[in-house]
Chain A
Amino acid sequence: MLDNLRQDFINKTTQLVVVNRELEVVDSDNNLFDISKNSDITDFHPFFFALTTIFDEELQEETFFCVQMEVLGKHYFIDIKTYIGEDGDTLVLILNDLTDHYKTVHQIKQVRNESIINFNISQELNQQLEIQRSFKNKFLANVSHEIRTPLNSIVGFISVLENTEISREQLDVLHIIKDSSKNLVTILDDLMDISKIEAGKLDIKKRRFDFREFVEKLAKTYQIRTDDKRLSFDFELSSKIPRFLVGDHLRINQVIVNLLENALKYTHQGGIKFSVTTSSVNARRIPVTFEVTDTGIGIPKEKLDSIFDSFTQLEKRGLFGGSGLGLSIVKQLTDLLESDLEVKSVEGEGSTFSFTVFMGVSHNQKKEKVAKKKRDKKDLKGAKRPRILLGEDVEVNQLLMMRLFADYGAYSLDIAKNGERVVEYLDRFPYDLVILDLTMPVMDGLDAAVQIRNSSNKKVSKLPIIALTARTSQEEQDAAKEAGMNAYLTKPIDADLLFSTIERLLSRYKRKDKVLEISEEEE
């Protein structure tokens, strides 16, 4: 019985071969392969060249696992054991056919290795994409900064000129320059927003706001804009929508403005309808649907899929202008707002864009009374004006700020040309607030802010600090917050925003007498 079993289970899978030092076959039972006596075993397979080393190094016993052999068109996986014969001049080889076992191992390793390689490749691709994205974002941030710096002077000095005595004709020209400059700022903002969205760095910030006032203001603006273009403007705001909602009004505003601007750009007769409705009432969270309908040029069917891609325009740029970024931002922002942007359009008849955002209903529907204190230059005569210290290295920007502050008249302004000088001035003179440009030689605005916050003089360390910069990236804003700055304003300078921010920070600073936290509304 054992002989039969040996025949079935051992002999069929095992072959014994004896070779001499010349690698000639002395004997072979040929259970697996036909290997002729007296033949050179290396002619059978190149593996057997290895036997020379075994003889030379007198290795008594050696095992070679999983040697692949192709014999008569069949693929084998063989374990080969070698023993030096008793005479010392022969080698006994035991060839063990484990093809079935190794085929299973092969299948397992094939799957495992493929998955690891695919993971490596996707990881590498992601890294490459991240490098490219980071390079693009840095490039955009730098270009934006470089363009914003001269724009700051243009926009700022337009404001200064507007407050001087000039003719009606000159004022009209000024407004054209102002509008063009604002368009340029919008394009820069759009570019930066797209790169922020792509980098996943644009967050939705929910806060309570006067929704009805917000929408009505928007409608009022576009009523005027459509009047200028001799278009009709219909506005509908559902009375079911409560006054105070919780949501990201800045991003919602950005979407609506882009849609309305788009409608305005492509509508040459007829009009625009802007409606804000809800399908739900008395809930803690309500869906608010915004819809912008125009009687403009419409969108051809075949282009409906591509209108949300960046740099896509339906008409030749020369005719309508624009960067082609607006709808791309709209789409990406509505995605961020967890809303679906829908578009219906008939070429030559017009388009309707709509999206629905879920917003919280504020528990408090009462409007807080804000005591608005408008400064009158006349009231300031004799009054002690708060002292502001500005850190700014660019001469033209210094000049602009001097003019803006002189016109406003409520504050006294000192200027230091870098962060180091700012810190020196603060040690020597009393100030109420500091404004810092972020990019300055010797010591930049961030380092200066850190030094101010670390000052041993409590009057200095607690001063409100405003960042005023042409850098608009989220990283810069985060860094400013980290450095202890209380507000972040970007160039070109919006004089109204600058002075209202100063006023707010000063009043809070005096009231609380403590270091202010940077808050969303001031970002």
Chain B
Amino acid sequence: MLKFKKLYNILPLFDWDVYNLKFIIPEIFLFTSLLLLLLYGSLHFRTTKTFSNVEFTAKILLIIFGLTFLLLIENHDNEMHKFLFNQMLAVENFSTTLKIFVILLTAMLVIISYSYAIRNNFTEYEYIIFLGFTTGGMFLILSSFDFMTLLVAIEILSFGLYTLAMIKKQSSLAAEAGIKYLIIGALTTGMYAYGASLFYWYLQSTNFFVLQLHLFNEKYFSLVSLVDLIAKGHTNLLIGIILMVTLLLFKVAAAPFHGWSPDVYEGVPLFVTAYYAVVVKFVMLFTLIKIMYFVLKDFLPILQPGLQALAIASLLIGSIGAVTQNRLKRLFAYSSISHVGYILIGISANSDEGLAASLLYVLVYTVTNTILFMFLLNSDYKNMNSNDTHRVVEIADLAKIGKTHPFFSSLFVVSLLSFAGIPPFAGFFVKLKIFFVAVSAGLYPVVVIAVIASAISCFYYLKLIKAMFFVNLPGTFRLIDVKSTQLSVILWPVLFLTLFIFYSHSVNTALMECALSYFDVFHLCQ
């Protein structure tokens, strides 16, 4: 892209090469164009409050996303590890790949929520712009290389999420969920900031690389157990790391920190739930894995017992909690808690295979979740006797859909079976991989509990399938007319899950290569 390179050399504002600014041009472009979009919206949509505003903004956002996507591809260079702003940001292939995923997922959500937004009278164009800004925040999270940048990036993301949670101003349920999310988010950010300050006290730096190098050296001087750490006066380091990891565990809703997630999922509008469950969780899980496997790699043996306990708690609470739920969103919230449990097993295995398995699990989990929420976003329950139309909220609302819409319900079934871990689908292979990794790391009790939890989770996924195909209730399920664009969007994840067995190895290799390129960044000096 020679023309493009000439363009930023003409711009006189910065010396682009000195500050390495050309490597964050996707972010700069995204934020600038979103600001212009906000400016345009605030000047032109002053008097009107119609859906066409939302539609126009969404179209512009998709164009912006498309251009950012091209810029990201341009950035995707095999030889490139670049540090910016005094090593506060690192741009490398792993994060660029994840950014491409994030932008695709968000664009997909904007497209599939089209009919949902029409039906629910979304007239505030701002929610589209907030989606853009949260995407920018996630970009910064993915390329942050310093605990301060990570804090600021997570805040950029969180502010957008709090606002999105309360986008329906009249709904008291959404207000409750939003306030809950805000308070929990503020508390955990405070804990993170405290942990980062302890860590700064300990090392006079908040850089990832400094921490990683320090941990490596300490391990070299045989500082390997918890008792050693406390006896040699490294309590600050220990508490700091635990507090900082806690924030990430809160954001992914691992078990002792999961309390907010069912309530928030239930309260906020379905579209926002989908955004939380698909995109935000994707980014936070990858960040957790990145920090665990790269920054804290030499600290992982010390954290391992704790992580195993968290994994067991997540698996049990997630699976048992979901059994009694009747409302779909709460059920999926609990099921996502149990899936985080599997990923935590992969993390606590502390091996390269464990890294690959957990990365693959996050990918498959996200794709499966996408189908689920696409389905829910494009469906409505209609009772023929009383002409009562509402969203699909409870399991009972799914009744008879297998007969009226066999094709779409079979797509739904694919994602449910994949979640449950039934063989031909992707969920089975990634779960198996996690179990293999855990067994080879000697985590036998965790594997036994995980298998039991997996069996329990089969119950409620099959309960949904039963409700769709084998239960007759008065009232008919109705799908709002799905457009062909949305149809094409819904099909590719299903194909991904079904044909996973044929290319699981190549996906795995690609992920590992990307991840190891990140690994190289950290081992430049070793």
Q: Does A pair with B?
A: no
Q: Which residues of B contact A (CB under 8 A)?
A: none
